Structure 1
Amino acid sequence: MTTPEDELTPGWQQPTPLGYGQGAKEAQFVAAPLLAAAALGLAGVVAGAKDQVFLLPGPTLLMLVLSAMSLIYSIQLAYHARKFLYSQQDVLDWHGAEIANQAQLWGELRRAQSTDFKVWDRYIRGANRYFNRGTVLLAFGVAAALAPGKESSQPPWRWWAAGIVLVCAFGEIGWQLKLRREVNDRSQRKRPGIGQGGSS
């Protein structure tokens, strides 16, 4: 269903950028479960190995477990947040286009959507923060697992691999900060009356 053009945006909240909700969904419900499984799988390998195989088995396990828990928590937050994200068109699809002609009820629904959007925004920000932390912790855990222990063969190659992962981890931190600034700047430049968007 569609609505009159003058009813499409005023007073209704929407993410900034508009694809923010979909992007968060892909991160939380596709990437996060896979990364959490990888972290727990690697933690099992480290926990089951002899102490001499890994350079720092204790700290490695801690980083991997923290990574998995952070990623799982991000999934939980995102699941809760998703219940509060809906658009003006969703309201019309549910209630019917004629609802737009009932000024009082239409205004109440718009205010409810605005309140719910703020709840979504708060929880999705938290979900994204935990997802970002989880990915960085996973990178550090992988780097620590690659660092050769006393019984490791070909230690130079393992040091090189660990170094590459560390460089990528710091690159990921920089990338996350850059994206957060860009989304926040875009939200601040948003035209009045279109609604308030989320940030990472």
Structure 2
Amino acid sequence: MEEVLAAITLALAALAGLTYFAILPKPSGHVRAVWKTLPVSMLALYAFLMNAPSPLVMALVLSALGDAFLAYDGKHNFAAALVSFLIAHVAYGWLFFMFGDRALVVAEIWRLGAAIVSVALVIALVAYLWRSAASLAPAVLAYATAIASMAVLSLSMPSLVVFAGVALFLSSDAVLSVQTFKMERTDPLWPFAAFYVWASYFGAQVGLTIALVALTA
């Protein structure tokens, strides 16, 4: 019975995530916040029902909280979202540390290469955003350090889906940060950036949740 409930919850999470695309163009507000928070909250419930390790549930809950903050405009909401996602990345990294095999990262050349490229890209992104981020630059650096560490640790997991999910997450964060610090809302690329951020972010969360439940629950 619990597995059936978990499967229904996962299906509803996917449906909520897909229907959020219709909410994307709408102004920020409570309706958008609820709809943006719902999909990953349901993924957290799915992970809980599947007896997944607490770091995974924690990472999803914190991500949903970050989604709620991002549903509203303003520097303070963005900063709060940054903190929520930073702690979520730490939780994911903790999970990878618990269940991964660090020797894998250097044992296979592609994993080592992916680790080096991930860290290099994060460093380049921070350098590109540093001046534009202004007072938020130290927070951006802390966040970037967390996600780079998460990417490297994800390569210690045997499933390629885990690293693919983290890579999607990283790309989503990169586009969101460029959108936030380098683009105006009048920019013709803004709607496409918003679409990509949600598609890559939610796809990453679904892939990570399913893969990590299968590996750890």
TM-score, structure 1 as length reference: 0.36
Larger Rg over CA atoms: 1
Q: By percentage of residues, which structure has more helix?
A: 2
Q: Which has the higher contact order (CA 8 A, sep 6+)?
A: 1
* TM-score normalised by the chain length of structure 2: 0.34
